[in-house]
Structure 1
């Protein structure tokens, strides 16, 4: 009896096994373009209603493993009409996809890329309009570029002597003296300050970007790659070309103001830009005048102890902050933040075409006058004592003193030239 039951089970297994085998299998095939017959790589082949699927290879071929039949497979590709095919058994199928609706426009959001002045350029060239710069909400051109141009850097350099009034700016972190700055395609003069502190560009001299008012600029072109073969060694990091406004349709007056969330650093500014026509051949005189006033900020922390002079003097009271003066002044008397600035700008841009249309006389430039005050390390009484009452009156408690760097900066520049055509060359 047991042998009979085993035989019956074996017969049933043998009968059902082919059915199970036939219930699953492989679907192979080729996906092509209906119009040309060319293979269509990267097409999606998915079992409808599931996540089971595959993609076609470079020759348009695919292999899809399914669990059971019949199935409906969906074949799709970007730019082509989706097809659905019912398959009853393991077999090879050929699919020809028809072209779908063409994409008229692709809009990308959340991208920092800028329109390129040369579309086929092998290096990145950013072309940024002045309105886009102003939309950053930053008060000066160097800070505007920091928020708009990848790899451009310019930050406040506090406790850095006079460097705090210039904020060294560079491209790709290669240093201020290796970033060429042009105005209307002509070299901008460098500042007279050598950055001697431990700031970006230590030992170098850079261009003072604060001396160029944003109101005078039409657009800025930034080449974010080396151009030393064309311009020289000062263009190793890249080139910044500021194009000044020419003729404008109307006079523009801008007034701006702001303050930090801490209530300090209040600033306000105003500028005017206008132009007049010169002659009847498209000549112009563009004129800009502006004023900017900025108060200092203070973001000094409260370390309590002085880790620098506590080690130098070998004094645990200074190091740990248990000295009475340090307990009364846990911020060590420091003022750390942006400096005070008062700035006045006058810029002009003139172009007078020749009557024969073969050239132009041009001149442009400006005058910037800037006064400011920044702060150095506070001279604490345990660091700079005053035993002979040179810094405080006798009978009073000596509290140390705060050195300041008070600047008087004049940045004047002027360019005059003639553009003309000789034998077809500009």
Structure 2
């Protein structure tokens, strides 16, 4: 009887102890203050907690024992500690986290009136685009199309039958004009193109920035600011600001080759083939953070057309005076096509993607010259050659063709040579209680046109078949001085 009573009392004591929960509590801080919202995790127990406004946390454990507890917060190294908690006991476990600069790749520059802050703390939303990951996973190869693929407010379409705009994809934010989007590289204003968009292209009558002149492999990330952009950057940022941060990797070689094409109802198999080859490498210049990062790129894009066979008049009796000695303009298209072994598909324009090929070289460099000062430089060269087409000149258009030179008519070609150069050099650092940045940014764009596979019908058989159609040249040079209190 006494033994049974002893067992009952022992069981009651054990139950009372188990009912009293085990608890871990503490404070999470860095070197100067407590951290609000840090995550505390008990490994293997499925238990988590977050620090409150005072940086304190508390976790109730289901059982006693030895546990691994970790504390983490964005921008700081995760810290782990082991703690033994007895049954019903409350143990205190504090964490002092250390800053992790490698975890701050998401820090944005634009949209902030003071020191750079993370995108969660900016006054307005900032889209942060990791170009490296997108270039590996998205089906696009050019910068404008990659942004079009991921940013809902960004629009850029490949134009056709718009002369030079066929080779420069105008970019738009929030449906506004290309000249109302401010493009920055490393926080410095990027020059626009020399081309005025014409015909029915996006942003007709405006001049935008050629994003495709910047190789994707040269880019670390892209920041897109929409709300409040004009208030901070001026009237040419009414639609927003796109800030392109260049690659800073050192001692790391990366290379990629991307390709693709299109197949459609009216395509002849695969067309519109695209290919891009990129290589990037950075070298360390000194032990104080100096580096030189270089990027090379080659792009190729072939024609893509979605035009159905031509249904209009191709030949009249004027095109065959042997059979029709007294022509009146009678439509003899079907008979003449059969006689010449042709079809209507031989007389269609190229309504679709133009042909384009080119290459680019880009650099990004920083050289510390003192404890609180560094010289920086970035820029690049881009050269592209594009071919687009106009409408087909059929043999029946007697005032626009010459049967001796082009017996079957001709499809005029607009050949565009696009050259782009840019270079920014500056020095930045601290001057007492001020942070200073002196820089000069130079940019130039030239576009030259050649009309090929064509003629001047008024010159009859003496007409050349290729003409220099002139071009455009634009140069922009910005000198800037920037100060702010530290």
Q: TM-score range by the shorter chain?
A: 0.5 to 0.7
C-alpha distance in 2 between matches for 1:120 and 1:213: 30
Q: How does 1:388-403 map to 2 (within 5 A)?
A: 389=403, 391-392=405-406, 398-403=407-412
- C-alpha offsets along residues 139-196 of structure 1, whole Å, 9 cap, x if unaligned? 1000000001111011111111111000111101101100011100001111111112
C-alpha distance in 2 between matches for 1:424 and 1:375: 59
2:180/2:239 contact within 8 Å kept = yes
Q: Which runs of 5+ in 1 are unaligned?
A: 1-99, 105-113, 307-315, 393-397
C-alpha distance in 2 between matches for 1:386 and 1:352: 61
Taking a change above 3 Å as real, the CA distance of residues 130 and 421 of structure 1, as seen in their structure-2 partners, is: same
Query: For residue 32 of structure 2, what is the aligned residue in structure 1?
Result: none
Q: Which runs of 5+ in 2 are unaligned?
A: 1-59, 62-70, 72-105, 109-117, 264-268, 314-328, 436-486
1:226/1:235 contact within 8 Å kept = no
- C-alpha offsets along residues 200-230 of structure 1, whole Å, 9 cap, x if unaligned? 1111111011100000000000012351222
C-alpha distance in 2 between matches for 1:122 and 1:384: 65
Query: For residue 266 of structure 1, what is the aligned residue in structure 2?
Result: 273
Query: For residue 282 of structure 1, what is the aligned residue in structure 2?
Result: 289
Which residue, out of 350, 356, 372, partners 1:341? 356
Taking a change above 3 Å as real, the CA distance of residues 199 and 388 of structure 1, as seen in their structure-2 partners, is: closer
C-alpha distance in 2 between matches for 1:377 and 1:388: 16
C-alpha distance in 2 between matches for 1:325 and 1:219: 56
- C-alpha offsets along residues 339-363 of structure 1, whole Å, 9 cap, x if unaligned? 11111110000101233x2121000
Cα deviation, residue 405, structure 1: 1.1
C-alpha distance in 2 between matches for 1:126 and 1:317: 62
Aligned positions, number: 300
Higher strand content, 1 or 2: 2
Cα deviation, residue 138, structure 1: 0.3
C-alpha distance in 2 between matches for 1:413 and 1:238: 22
C-alpha distance in 2 between matches for 1:248 and 1:388: 60
Cα deviation, residue 305, structure 1: 4.3
- C-alpha offsets along residues 45-94 of structure 1, whole Å, 9 cap, x if unaligned? xxxxxxxxxxxxxxxxxxxxxxxxxxxxxxxxxxxxxxxxxxxxxxxxxx
Cα deviation, residue 304, structure 1: 2.2
Q: Which moved more, 1:323-332 or 1:362-371?
A: 323-332
Cα deviation, residue 257, structure 1: 1.9
Cα deviation, residue 274, structure 1: 0.6
C-alpha distance in 2 between matches for 1:274 and 1:350: 12
Cα deviation, residue 270, structure 1: 1.4
- C-alpha offsets along residues 4-25 of structure 1, whole Å, 9 cap, x if unaligned? xxxxxxxxxxxxxxxxxxxxxx
C-alpha distance in 2 between matches for 1:405 and 1:388: 19
Structure with greater Cα Rg: 1
Cα deviation, residue 136, structure 1: 1.4
Query: For residue 416 of structure 2, what is the aligned residue in structure 1?
Result: 407
Say if 2:384 is the partner of 1:370: yes
TM-score normalised by the chain length of structure 1: 0.64
Query: For residue 177 of structure 1, what is the aligned residue in structure 2?
Result: 179
2:308/2:348 contact within 8 Å kept = no
Which residue, out of 147, 150, 157, partners 1:148? 150
1:300/1:334 contact within 8 Å kept = yes
Query: For residue 24 of structure 2, what is the aligned residue in structure 1?
Result: none
TM-score normalised by the chain length of structure 2: 0.57
1:269/1:291 contact within 8 Å kept = yes
Say if 2:308 is the partner of 1:301: yes
